Amino acid sequence: MTKRWKCTVCDYIHVGSEPPDVCPICGSDRSQFIEIGEEKNGLFHEIVAAFKIHPVLAHFPNGLIPTAAIFLLASILTGHPRLENVVFWLVLTSVAVVPFSLATGIHDWHKHFGKHHAPVFYKKLGLALTLFVLGLAATGLRYENQDLLKVDDWYGWLYVLSMLGMLCCVGLLGHFGTLLSAQVAQTNGKSTTASSSLTANDSPVDGWPDQIVVHAPEAILVADTKGVIRFWNHGAERMFGVKKDDAIGQSLNLIIPENLRQRHWDGWARAMQTGKSHYGEDEMMRVPAIKSDGTRLSVEFSVVMLKDAELQLSGVAAILRDVSEHWSREKKLKSQLETCLKGNIPIEK
């Protein structure tokens, strides 16, 4: 029977007989999913689970500021004072809502996007703060002089410019909010389609990629642009002796020997600036690493540069393999070869 599962970390809804091995939104494993009811009761649960207070609050200034601009234009053209009074109260309401919208937006950024350092989030934060400052300026000017538009001085022009600035802010906020919504909807749509296909056709193929990433014997990890670990698979747990919950949120210094950290971060900074790495499809690198108990091992790895919807670098995925035993054999063979050459002992082909 088709069931609905909710991720307790990011509230993602999964449709299927079983929860997914990995949440496609936040990367949590299946233990973080809870059943929220059968499909026939899914609409109500989906509405409740999908409800977010931030979009509700964000729509207040997004709707009220353009309305205020229309009333302001009508007031300027007709000279009717009541129309301008409406503008004041619309702007005042918008300004009062902005701090709550900003706070809930930051909360959602931390909870649902892991405080991801993508430019779109900082643009939204900057625009919201600018909107708040311009709103305070407009309401302050209007409160001090109720006949502001009738006075031909710079106060009236400053009031109008503040309103135009607020109108631009809400327009850009709506634009960037749409980009984020489209990205989340696209991810959810792909995941839901895969889940529905699995239920209808009883085919496991759609769920294989997630299972491969989570259970691969190679260590697979993802770090954001600051070098903070955001994903850590079972292979990484086995290789480094660190559990997923203990690794996520820590710096990559967790697995880098102390004497190599400066060299690593210098290379990391260059890769973050250029968005490119030499160690991709055609080249792998072999470096020392450390386990949780301080033991060194030799690892061979390649990386994948991850980008967001705006094609900005958002993180790096690394696939690592323990080659300590191979490296030891190679070192031993080199030593034997040097001994043979020094003693003029012929080498068998």
In terms of Cβ atoms closer than 10 Å to its own Cβ (0-12, 13-18, 19+), residue 144 is exposed
Give the Cα separation of 291 and 296 in Å (integer). Answer: 6
Of 6-20, 166-180, 251-265, the least confident: 6-20
Retrieve residue 112's tokens: 């649902």
pLDDT of 283: 65
pLDDT at 344 over 80: no
Closest among 110, 106, 114 to 231, alpha carbons compared? 114
* pLDDT mean over 203-232: 80
Higher pLDDT: 214 or 228? It is 228
Q: Sheet harboring 296-307: ordered strands across?
A: 229-232, 219-224, 313-322, 296-307, 285-290
**With contact defined as beta carbons under 8 Å apart, do 154 and 107 qualify?**
no
Compute the chain's Rg from CA coordinates. 28
Retrieve residue 345's tokens: 């002992």
pLDDT at 213 over 70: yes
Instruction: List the domain boundaries for the chain.
Output: 1-51, 53-182, 216-333
Query: 1-51: what CATH class?
Result: mainly beta
pLDDT of 251: 92
Give the Cα separation of 267 and 210 in Å (integer). Answer: 30
DSSP-assigned beta bridge partners for residue 305: 316
Of 65-74, 163-172, 204-213, 256-265, the least confident: 204-213
CATH number attached to the domain at 216-333: 3.30.450.20
pLDDT at 193 over 50: no
Closest among 320, 319, 337, 339 to 329, alpha carbons compared? 337
Higher pLDDT: 37 or 229? It is 229
Give the Cα separation of 308 and 311 in Å (integer). Answer: 5
Neighbours of 326 (CB within 10 A): 13
* pLDDT mean over 165-178: 89
DSSP 265-313: HHHHHHHHHHS--SSSSS--EEEEEE-TTS-EEEEEEEEEEEE-TTS-E
pLDDT of 45: 56
Q: Which amino acid is at 229?
A: I
In terms of Cβ atoms closer than 10 Å to its own Cβ (0-12, 13-18, 19+), residue 255 is buried
Most confident of the ranges 16-20, 291-295, 322-326:
291-295
pLDDT at 205 over 90: no
Retrieve residue 310's tokens: 């705006």
Q: Which of the 8 DSSP states describes residue 315?
A: E
User: H or E segment at 80?
Assistant: none
pLDDT of 168: 93
Domains 1-51 and 216-333 belong to one CATH topology: no
pLDDT at 225 over 50: yes
